[in-house]
Amino acid sequence: MPTYSGMKKEFVKYGELHFVLNGQKQRLSVYRNLTLPAIPQYKNHLFLPFKDLTNTHESYGGGRYIDLEITDIRDAVYILDFNKAYNPYCAYSDGFNCPIPPQENHLPLRVEAGEMNFGKDH
């Protein structure tokens, strides 16, 4: 997966989440970083990068992320909570290798939940 710094990070597609948001059927791909399973505390870690129509104006232009665990998936069901969406480190400082959400994870609607832009006075 390419990053905003120009480097690539090794991810594999783990699966897809199918859901309805604002009355529209949607799909997002979930990824697994190939290096993290070697670290015991991250062996079940999954990564969901996405973009939506709030990017640039109300939320970080480069997209947002949601972290989840394989163990959060029960009977092939995962409860997707956009309130857990967060800005990558790139939103706050240069020098990070933040993955670029792939085109298949660009939602054609607004996700008005999770971490949004921050003001200079914070």
Strand partners, 69: 45
Of 44, 113, 114, 34, the closest CA to residue 72 belongs to 44
Of 20, 32, 115, the closest CA to residue 69 belongs to 32
Is 113 a residue whose pLDDT tops 50? yes
Is 122 a residue whose pLDDT tops 50? no
Of 3, 12, 34, the closest CA to residue 99 belongs to 3
Query: Is this model's pTM higher than 0.75 or not?
Result: yes
Number of neighbours of residue 74 by Cβ within 10 angstroms: 8
Residue 112 placed within a domain: no
Q: Are 61 and 4 in contact (CB under 8 A)?
A: no
Residue 116 placed within a domain: no
Is 102 a residue whose pLDDT tops 50? yes
Residue 56 placed within a domain: yes
- Domain hosting 88: range is 11-105
**Per the structure, how many domains does the chain have?**
1
